[in-house]
Amino acid sequence: MKTVTKQKTLFHYFLLILVMVLAACANIVTPTGGDKDITPPAVVISEPLNRTINFTSSSIRISFSEFVKLSDFTNQFIISPLMDNPPEIKEKGKTIVLTFKDKLLPQTTYTLYFGKSIVDITEGNALTNYQYVFSTGNTIDSLTIRGKVNNAFDLKPEAGVFVMLYDKNIDSLPLTQKPQYICKTSTAGLFELNNLKSGTYKIFALKDVNANYMFDLPNEKIAFLPDLIIPEIPIVPIKDTVKKDSLKIVKDSIILNTVHPLFLFDEADTVQKLLKSSIPKLGKLTLIFKQAVNDFQLRSLRPEPTGNWFKTEMCPTKDTLNCWFLPGSLDSLFLEVSDNNIVLDTLKFSLVSIEKQSKSGKGTSAVNKLYLGCNAKEGFLFDLNIPIKINCSNPIDSIDFLKIKLMEGKDTLKPLISFTNNIKNYFTIDYKWKEEKSYKLFIPPSVMKDMFDFKNDSVSVKFTTKALRNYGTMSLKILMPAEDAGYIIQLRDENDQLVKEKYIESLESLTFDYLTPKNYKIKLIIDSNHNKKWDTGNYNHKKQAERVYYYPEPINLKANWEMNLDWNILP
What DSSP line would sit under 219-237, residue for residue?
T-EEEE-SS-B--B-----
At residue 132, what is the residue type? Y
Q: What is the pLDDT of residue 356?
A: 55
Q: What is the pLDDT of residue 125?
A: 93
Domain 143-264 sits in CATH at 2.60.40.10
Name which CATH class applies to 372-469: mainly beta
Q: What is the pLDDT of residue 519?
A: 97
Q: What is the pLDDT of residue 33?
A: 53
Query: In the chain, what are the domain boundaries?
Result: 45-135, 143-264, 274-360, 372-469, 471-568
Q: Under DSSP, is residue 63 helix (H, G, I), strand (E, B) or coil?
A: strand
CATH number for 471-568: choose from 2.60.40.10, 3.20.20.60, 3.30.420.40, 2.40.160.40: 2.60.40.10
Q: What is the pLDDT of residue 366?
A: 46
Q: What is the pLDDT of residue 20?
A: 54
Q: pLDDT tens digits, the chain, 571 residues: what are they?
A: 444 444 555 455 555 555 454 444 544 444 555 567 789 999 999 999 999 999 999 999 999 999 999 999 988 999 999 998 999 999 999 999 999 999 999 999 999 999 899 999 988 999 988 999 999 999 999 999 999 999 999 999 999 999 999 998 888 889 999 999 999 999 999 999 999 999 999 999 999 999 899 999 888 999 999 999 999 988 754 333 333 333 333 333 344 578 899 999 999 888 899 999 988 877 788 999 998 899 999 888 876 666 677 888 888 888 999 988 875 656 677 889 999 999 999 988 776 555 555 555 554 444 567 999 999 999 899 999 999 999 999 999 999 999 999 999 999 999 999 999 989 999 999 999 999 999 999 999 999 999 888 999 999 999 999 999 999 999 999 999 988 999 999 999 999 999 999 999 998 899 999 999 999 999 999 999 999 999 999 999 999 999 999 999 999 999 999 999 999 998 7
The CATH architecture one would assign to domain 274-360 is Sandwich (2.60)
Handedness of CA 199, 202, 205, 211 (dihedral sign): negative
Length of the chain: 571
CB atoms < 10 A from the CB of 439, how many?
Answer: 21
> Which runs of E-coded beta strand occur in 233-273?
259-264
Whether 471-568 and 143-264 are alike in CATH topology: the answer is yes
- 515 and 474 in contact (C-beta within 8 Å)? yes
Q: What is the pLDDT of residue 461?
A: 96
Q: What is the pLDDT of residue 246?
A: 34
- The whole-angstrom separation of Cα 142 and Cα 234 is 8
Which residues in 192-230 are b (16+ Cβ under 10 Å) and which e? bbbbbeeeebbbbbbbbeeeebbbeeeebbbbbbeeeee
Q: What is the pLDDT of residue 430?
A: 97
- The whole-angstrom separation of Cα 47 and Cα 56 is 12
CATH number for 45-135: choose from 3.30.70.600, 2.60.40.1220, 3.40.50.300, 3.40.50.620: 2.60.40.1220
